[in-house]
């Protein structure tokens, strides 16, 4: 195989892309766009004890489970990380992530700062974390209201929690401010592209470069 053709199939390790932000900062839309346009990326579907919203599909956005099921999964070590957010439990099931990593596939995690820290502790080298900030707290509140999926009481709780979430911005590798959704999305795409090209994530480069140097010209 020539160096030219093998360059398209250089083996690399899977990337664990963590996206966090306060609710309403645009993270879900960015995550959805990424998943639609980047077929190397699949979503880690979390389990949650939160009630399903009207627009959500069980098994696609989350697996909706009971607190009892959640306890069972936690006790049997089936969760890679878990956290309590806004009074509900959320967690990342271990098995699909380990399977993706073993196959060198990339995974996207839409999780909060508590989950991001736990994953970083467990899988240091493979994590790339991005924090998405709203342009202002006023705009964050307006976006939560526009979404109209939560009651006023829940929106208040989410705004209080937003402050706590934002305080953890320093724990992330990259920070994107979502003034404009298209721009924020292209920033996230640029980060993913650059991270995939990192030398230390591409063990297959050794063979590629050896092939280049051995090539008869
Ligand atoms: P929502 O209820 O709006 O879907 O999510 C609330 C928060 O929980 C979001 O910040 C979301 O990223 C976070 N979250 C969702 N799934 C998980 C998970 O599996 N683990 C952790 N730690 N947080 C999660």
Tokens read off for 70: 């959640």
The yes/no answer on whether domain 11-199 falls in CATH 3.40.50.300 is yes
pLDDT tens digits, 83-131: 998 889 999 999 999 899 888 899 999 999 999 999 999 887 789 999 9
Position of tokens 């607190």?
Answer: 67
Are the C-beta atoms of 88 and 23 separated by less than 8 Å? no
Q: How confident is the model at residue 151 (pLDDT cuts 50, 70, 90)?
A: confident
Return phi, psi of residue 151, to 5°: -70, 165
**pLDDT score of 8:** 54
Ligand 1 atom closest to Cα of 22? 10
3-class DSSP state of 62: strand
* Pocket of ligand 1 contains residue 143 by CB under 6 Å: no
Q: Is 54 annotated as a binding residue?
A: no
For residue 147, what are the CA distances in angstroms to 103, 105, 111, 150?
37, 32, 19, 8
Higher pLDDT, 7 or 100: 100
Dihedral angle over CA of 175, 49, 93, 33, nearest 10: -40
| Closest residue to atom 23 of ligand 1, CA basis | 111
Position 146 confidence tier, pLDDT thresholds 50, 70, 90: confident
- Alpha carbon distance 18, 112 (integer Å): 9
Task: Establish whether this prediction's ipTM goes over 0.95.
Answer: yes
Over residues 42-57, mean pLDDT = 95
Residue from 28, 110, 122, 133 to probe ligand 1 pocket by mutation (most atoms less than 8 Å from CB): 110
Q: Is 27 annotated as a binding residue?
A: yes
Q: Is 93 annotated as a binding residue?
A: no
Pairing mode of beta strands 46-48, 16-20: unpaired
78: Cβ–Cβ under 8 A, 6 or more apart, which residues?
93, 94, 95
Who wins on pLDDT, 111 or 151?
Answer: 111
Return all residues near 115 (Cβ < 8 A) that are at least 6 apart: 18, 20, 81, 82, 83, 90, 91, 92, 109
Q: What is the average pLDDT across 58-66?
A: 96
For the CA of 115, the closest atom of ligand 1 is 22
For residue 93, which of 112, 117, 119, 114 has the smallest C-alpha distance? Answer: 119
């Amino acid at each position: 195989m020539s160096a030219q053709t093998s360059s398209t199939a250089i083996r690399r390790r899977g990337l664990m892309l963590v996206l966090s932000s306060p609710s309403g900062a645009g993270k879900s839309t960015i995550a959805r766009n990424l998943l639609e346009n980047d077929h190397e990326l699949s979503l880690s579907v979390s389990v949650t004890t939160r009630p399903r919203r009207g627009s959500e599909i069980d098994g696609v956005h989350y697996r909706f489970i009971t607190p009892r099921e959640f306890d069972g999964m936690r006790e049997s070590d089936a969760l890679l990380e878990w956290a309590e957010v806004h009074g509900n439990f959320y967690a990342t099931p271990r098995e699909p992530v380990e399977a993706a990593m073993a196959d060198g596939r990339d995974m996207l995690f839409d999780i909060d700062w508590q989950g991001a820290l736990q994953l970083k502790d467990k899988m240091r080298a493979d994590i790339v974390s991005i924090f998405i900030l709203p342009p202002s707290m006023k705009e964050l509140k307006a976006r939560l209201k526009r979404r109209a999926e939560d009651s006023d009481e829940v929106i208040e709780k989410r705004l209080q929690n937003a402050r706590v979430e934002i305080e953890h911005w320093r724990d992330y590798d990259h920070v994107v401010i979502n003034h404009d959704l298209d721009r924020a999305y292209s920033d996230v795409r640029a980060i993913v592209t650059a991270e995939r090209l990192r030398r230390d994530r591409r063990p297959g480069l050794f063979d590629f470069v050896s092939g280049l140097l051995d090539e008869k010209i």
